[in-house]
Amino acid sequence: MELIFQNVWFVPLFPFLASILLGIGLFFFPNSIKKFRRLSSFISIMFLNIAMLLSFHFFWQQITGSPIHRYLWSWVLYKNFVLEIGYLLDPLTSIMLVLVTTVAVMVMIYSDSYMFYDEGYIKFFCYLSLFTASMLGLVLSPNLIQVYIFWELVGMCSYLLIGFWFTRPSAANACQKAFVTNRIGDFGLLLGILGFYWITGSFDFQQLSKRFFELLSYNQINLVFATLCALFLFLGPVAKSAQFPLHIWLPDAMEGPTPISALIHAATMVAAGIFLVARMFPLFQMLPFVMSIISWTGAITALLGATIALAQKDLKKGLAYSTMSQLGYMMLALGIGSYKAGLFHLITHAYSKALLFLGSGSVIHSMEPIVGYHPNKSQNMIFMGGLRQYMPITAITFLFGTLSLCGIPPFACFWSKDEILVNSWLHFPILGSIAFFTAGLTAFYMFRIYFLTFEGDFRGHFFDDVKKLSSISIWGSLEFNKEQFKLDKKSTLYPKEANNIMLFPLIILTIPTVFIGFIGILFDENKMNVDSLSYWLTLSINSFNYSNSEKFLEFLFNAIPSVSIAFFGILIAFYLYGPNFSFLKKEKKKLQLKSEIDIVLKSFSNFIYNWSYYRAYIDGFYSSFFIKGLRFLIKIVSFIDRWIIDGIINGIGIFSFFGGESLKYIEGGRISSYLFFIIFCMFLFFLYSYII
């Protein structure tokens, strides 16, 4: 038993080994390993499976009440500076382990088929394993230094994977953007870590918060400095979890292969920021100002993501903004102190979003042969529509994911999101109303995506007439004259359902999407059960005493508004994008008669469309303000460097060159002048000493 606990590090080790194996193979035997494509993917899936089974085991151990396990090994010992590495196994860790490994396994199986025709198939698996390993390492870290190391590793892997198709300029730009944006956060994180080390003298999570609490209670802390450090520390999660000021990288990161979007940008990596905030929660809790900053950041992100997602044309980008919005929910939950709800939402959202992304990948895969391989085409929802007829399984699983994300009971996200909504409402009504409004928006844009993609008629054959199509507003009136485009039915292709390997993860992921929400609520109901999620997650932080004492009925009562706004959103989406039923058409015509309302609506919709298209103008603002400002500053600095600093150097160089040349001619070779010089210098010395 103990032995197995001491070997928790096997969990990240296995995928790491896989990546090392593949990496060595790629590096040294690039030609021969290409013959073993399936074998190498099999190896990485196999190793990850072992890791998954192990983490299930640890999870079960934690549920059945094993103690928190901590193992430290001193790495650097220098005077009174001790740096330890090791691992920390507590409920949070074990649940994260399960989450990461299951999603990663699914994604790996999926990408076996998705990436099959790609040149970098093995490289992809190598990166994927490395990413999973570093994510698992991050989850297991007991102190901030180790977190920082894995944090950087995760960032690097994400850079590699976003830029996996680096020959495409947009992908190359996207990975750079992601990297640079994350660097800002990482720098803040590093400053925060060092600042807290300065305050408390420890990197360890538990010691850190304990010492901080002691110091705070004895009033020995400069509170402003501590808050500043906490904010710096929070900057790391802000960048990694795509929160408001630093969210700009996430939509661009969709340039990576779709499995990567599923794994990194939905389920795991972006969760790292949430995870870190959860880990540091006891500490943040002592600083109310920081908590309110966190909650407001979350709320703004949630709203911003939802509004931008409203009018995205690109399937994956729409999902990406939805991810951002959901991450905002989690941050909001953590910020208002409902720790459990935030993490619960993290878990439920991870499965749902992974499912959605994999579904979208399947859609893209089937669209590609028809409309072309450019992401502007294959991911463009304008060309989709009616795919449910051609790929029913994908459509149904996608629908499940959508329903879950909208917060429709009994799907997973309902339980967690409802909790967040209720708690935020209780905490502060403005936050609550923002969250509430966002929930409606979520339902709207998710169903917009669903309807545009899977319902209606297939529009993929008009991809040649991009000009004609672009005139069609994405808002509402998608119906157009079919007779206008005369199609040769025989020659057209239709999308096909993905193959079984790709469908398998979709179906598997449907299970948690539907059912995982119950663990939260069921365990809530019978509080006697020791292993209720809320009890169980609060165990890891002793100072935290939030308890959910609601009754189930009360819960349901609370859920009514949130569910109703979700349905309201769905209705609007249905009205605007749904399949055209005759009575709706009539309604529409009636509506169109009321021209004043129509104008208002149109201007509003244009505004929303532009808002979404220009990504809430934030990217533009950044590029005009930061990037141009920085460029200007760089020009000044480079001017100084070129003309002043280089000028000094060149001046010295020229001076010394001329000095050398002139010295060459001073040495005339006349002995008498030499003698004179010697005497003269001696005289000078003499004079000098005389003066002194």
Instruction: Pick the closer one to another protein by CB: 180 or 675.
Output: 675
- Helix pair angle (552-577, 429-454), 10° resolution: 50
Instruction: Pick the closer one to another protein by CB: 28 or 688.
Output: 688
CA distance 354 to 348: 10
Contact window for another protein (CB under 8 A) among 257-265, 303-311, 579-587, 677-685: 677-685
User: Using CB under 8 A, which of 483, 488, 596, 661 touches another protein?
Assistant: 661
**CB 636 to another protein: min, Å:** 27
Instruction: Pick the closer one to another protein by CB: 76 or 649.
Output: 649
Contact window for another protein (CB under 8 A) among 41-49, 135-143, 437-445, 673-681: 673-681
**CB 677 to another protein: min, Å:** 6
CA distance 496 to 571: 29
Instruction: Pick the closer one to another protein by CB: 373 or 677.
Output: 677
**CB 647 to another protein: min, Å:** 16
Cβ burial, residue 56 (10 Å; 0-12/13-18/19+): middle
Tokens 């850190």 -> residue: 208
**CB 643 to another protein: min, Å:** 21
Instruction: Pick the closer one to another protein by CB: 223 or 678.
Output: 678
Contact window for another protein (CB under 8 A) among 162-170, 358-366, 438-446, 659-667: 659-667
- Helix pair angle (412-427, 288-309), 10° resolution: 130
Three-state SS for 614-682 is CHHHHHHHHHHHHHHHHHHHHHHHHHHHHHHHHHHHHHHHHHHHHHHHHHHHHCCCCHHHHHHHHHHHH
Contact window for another protein (CB under 8 A) among 202-210, 223-231, 246-254, 664-672: 664-672
Instruction: Pick the closer one to another protein by CB: 606 or 656.
Output: 656
Residue 501 in 3-state DSSP? helix
**CB 86 to another protein: min, Å:** 35
**CB 690 to another protein: min, Å:** 6
Q: What are phi and psi of 407, to 5 degrees?
A: 85, 40
**CB 666 to another protein: min, Å:** 9
Cβ burial, residue 654 (10 Å; 0-12/13-18/19+): exposed
How many residues contact another protein, by CB under 8 A? 24
For the chain, what's the residue count?
A: 692
**Residue 153 and residue 39 in contact, taking contact as beta carbons nearer than 8 Å:** no
User: Using CB under 8 A, which of 77, 597, 634, 675 touches another protein?
Assistant: 675
Residue 337 in 3-state DSSP? coil
Instruction: Pick the closer one to another protein by CB: 73 or 690.
Output: 690
Per-position b or e across 376-392, b if 16+ CB within 10 A of its CB: ebbbbbbbbbbbbebbe
**Residue 233 and residue 203 in contact, taking contact as beta carbons nearer than 8 Å:** no
Contact window for another protein (CB under 8 A) among 77-85, 559-567, 591-599, 666-674: 666-674
Instruction: Pick the closer one to another protein by CB: 117 or 665.
Output: 665
Instruction: Pick the closer one to another protein by CB: 496 or 670.
Output: 670
Which of 63, 113, 53, 133 lies closest to 92 in space, CA to CA? 63
Instruction: Pick the closer one to another protein by CB: 429 or 659.
Output: 659
**CB 683 to another protein: min, Å:** 10
Instruction: Pick the closer one to another protein by CB: 488 or 661.
Output: 661
Q: What are phi and psi of 475, to 5 degrees?
A: -90, 110
Residue 526 in 3-state DSSP? coil
Residue 692 is a binding residue for another protein (CB under 8 A): yes
C-alpha 506, offset from chain centre: 21
**CB 78 to another protein: min, Å:** 23
Cβ burial, residue 632 (10 Å; 0-12/13-18/19+): exposed
Residues numbered 629-658 forming contacts with another protein, rule: CB under 8 A: 652-653, 656-657
Q: What residues line the site for another protein (CB under 8 A)?
A: 652-653, 656-657, 659-661, 663-664, 667, 669, 671, 674-675, 677-678, 681-682, 685-686, 688-690, 692
